[in-house]
């Protein structure tokens, strides 16, 4: 029995299937996450809904004018994303919440197909190195030319950017590796690069910025 099937058997009230992307159909910003959490999106059927990481994510998106509400409760609540969409590098919950390289590669075709269809995108906001690498794979770009770093900007072509952030996981926020202000700043920068109104403080330009070209 597969891990997903065991999850469904152990928790018959959980979604326990591939979690679809969520948000605007023609977004300016695409937020790339890692994978559904066992008791988060695997339970609710909506990315970053029901787990700790979603608390900071949706609150910050709401503050930036990208979400209609600050809290995502369930897949059928009234929350909507504006000019933004959330996708995951891996569609199904992985064992121990840690996807293996083979699982990331297997799911990448779905990410690549969605990326091709989202023609209005101006900014990809990668939450963590795995999401960063998965987006590059989906775009057919090499990792060596686009190094991950919090707040780092990569110009993919004349109109699109990849912007990096540490993942808004419980570990990163509880250790102070990622603070609420750091995340507000990177989301504000994503809005600026996407040509959207900026409602939060912008980050200070520093050595982490990069304008990589394809």
Residue-wise pLDDT for 97-128, tens only, equals 788 899 999 999 999 999 999 999 999 999 99
Banded model confidence at residue 212, pLDDT cuts 50, 70, 90: very low
Residue-wise pLDDT for 121-140, tens only, equals 999 999 999 999 999 999 99
pLDDT at 131: 97
Taking Cα atoms as reference points, which of 90, 93, 89 lies closest to residue 125?
89
Return the residue matching tokens 């390289």: 101
Q: What is the pTM of this model?
A: 0.89
pLDDT at 1: 46
Residue-wise pLDDT for 53-85, tens only, equals 999 999 999 999 999 999 999 999 999 999 999
Question: Half-sphere exposure (CA, 13 Å, Cβ side) for 152?
Answer: 18
**CATH match for 3-193 among 3.40.50.970, 1.10.10.10, 2.40.50.250, 3.40.470.10:** 3.40.470.10
Distance CA 199, CA 184 (A): 9
Asked if residue 7 has pLDDT above 80, the reply is: no
> Do 159 and 145 contact (CB within 8 A), yes or no?
no
DSSP codes joined into one string, 59-89: HHHHHTTSBSSS----TTSS--BSSEEEEES
Map residue 161 onto helix, strand or coil.
strand
């Amino acid at each position: 029995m597969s891990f997903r099937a065991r999850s469904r058997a152990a928790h018959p009230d959980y979604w326990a299937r591939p979690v679809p992307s969520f948000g605007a159909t023609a977004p300016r910003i695409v937020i790339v996450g890692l994978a559904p959490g066992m008791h988060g999106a695997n339970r609710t059927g909506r990315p970053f809904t029901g787990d700790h990481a979603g608390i900071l994510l949706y609150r910050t998106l709401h503050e930036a004018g990208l979400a209609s509400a600050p809290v995502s409760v369930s897949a059928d609540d009234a929350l909507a994303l504006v000019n933004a969409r959330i996708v995951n590098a891996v569609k199904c919950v992985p064992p121990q919440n840690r996807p293996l390289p083979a699982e990331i590669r297997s799911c990448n075709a779905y990410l690549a197909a969605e990326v091709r269809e989202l023609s209005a995108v101006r900014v990809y906001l990668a939450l963590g190195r795995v999401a960063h690498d998965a987006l590059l794979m989906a775009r057919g770009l090499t990792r060596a030319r686009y190094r991950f770093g919090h707040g780092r900007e990569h110009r993919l072509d004349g109109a699109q950017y990849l912007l990096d952030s540490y993942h808004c996981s419980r570990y990163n926020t509880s250790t102070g590796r990622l603070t609420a202000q750091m995340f507000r700043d990177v989301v504000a920068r994503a809005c600026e690069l996407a040509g959207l109104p900026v409602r939060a403080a912008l980050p200070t330009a520093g050595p982490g910025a990069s304008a990589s070209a394809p």
